[in-house]
Amino acid sequence: MSWLNVVRIIQKLKQRDMKKSQFLPLTLALLILATASCKKTTPELKEVFKNDFLIGTAMNSYQVHGRDPLAKPFIIKNFNSITAENEMKWERIHPAPGVYSFAKADSIAEFAQKNNLVLIGHVLVWHSQTPDWVFRDSVGNTLSRDALLARMKDHIFTVVGHFKGKVKGWDVVNEAIDDNGAMRKSLWYQIIGEDYIQKAFEYAHEADPDAELYYNDYNNEQKVKRDGVIPIIKSLQQNGARIDAVGIQGHWHLDEPDLNELDESLSAYAALGVKIVITEMEVNVLPTPPEVYGADIQQQAKYLEELNPYKNGCPDSVQTQLANRYSDLFTIFMKHKKDITRVTFWGIHDGYSWKNGWPIVGRTNYPLLFDRNYQPKPAFWSVIKTAKGE
């Protein structure tokens, strides 16, 4: 409670002609409450790490349109970068041939501009959340290589061109590598070939020469997948394409990734001469079936009660594990801060996390730094300590 609010309440109490025996105790209680609040001021995440890297979050149209009145001021206070969680993905922004729907994404862009937030574009070319019509002609036949390249170019030129000067950087290609390190056999790959990645980066750079361009993936901090990503980066560089950073999504767990492997991967990517961005971070606290231990949204698992153990609240023991995990991860980030330019959390608090519905619908998860009431969790304070070297 701020001192200004205390003054306002006291003034209202005076207007009620309260008895002195009632008025004085209430006033004293308010003063004690205000003093305690001042002593426990929650630091702003973006300020704590302002000399290290950007602190971002995912934002959706529900928040930007004020349906949750607490969301926008909370974002402004704690973050200096935002990524549209879904509103710039192909299925939302380009739902049908020749049809572009920019209204919701524009609202997020306007919010970013008004509040001096760095806006990240997500995502241009991906195998998921891309309508099937993108790969087929008017009668349903699979497009030729040249036809799909033309469709890709139109999409990238239209979307990137629309946000030119508003978006700092784009996730140009997302999740092009399978967990075994081989190229994912997406329709982009099957129809165009491996150089679809090269073409996407070339088109994005033509559309906005000033925008930063990123390759983004999950599990690419693990060696087997890292060994598949590094050749992509080198190929782009050798063929003259602009690539500014490797995006590591950071959909992590209490026991994954291996911290030494993460440390090694950050060094390996930095050695390529690119920056690193942590693009979609959270730490899952729930048991997850091994067959979906990644972030491929096309995979789903059956709901079982034993896989949703914390429906009524997160136990203190798990909160402690989560805090320790975040501390370990941010300690590594701080070690590599000269190469990391941004850390983005995939949601502003636990209630907004996609991990409540994936890979199992209907669970209650607690993967972020703030709880469902916007209150900082022990994990938040452990992250703050890493900035101070504690």
Catalytic residues: 175, 280
Question: 36 Cβ partners below 8 Å, 6+ apart?
Answer: none
Q: What is the DSSP letter of 299?
A: -
Residue 16 and residue 300 in contact, taking contact as beta carbons nearer than 8 Å: no
Burial of 154 (0-12, 13-18, 19+ CB in 10 A): middle
Closest by CA to 53, choosing from 383, 284, 349, 324, is 383
- CA-to-CA distance for 42 and 80, rounded, in angstroms? 17
Q: Which residue has the tokens 């049908």?
A: 96
> Which burial class, exposed, middle or buried, applies to 75 when counting CB atoms under 10 A from its CB (0-12, 13-18, 19+)?
buried
User: What are the C-alpha distances in Å from 125 to residues 29, 189, 206, 242?
Assistant: 57, 11, 15, 16
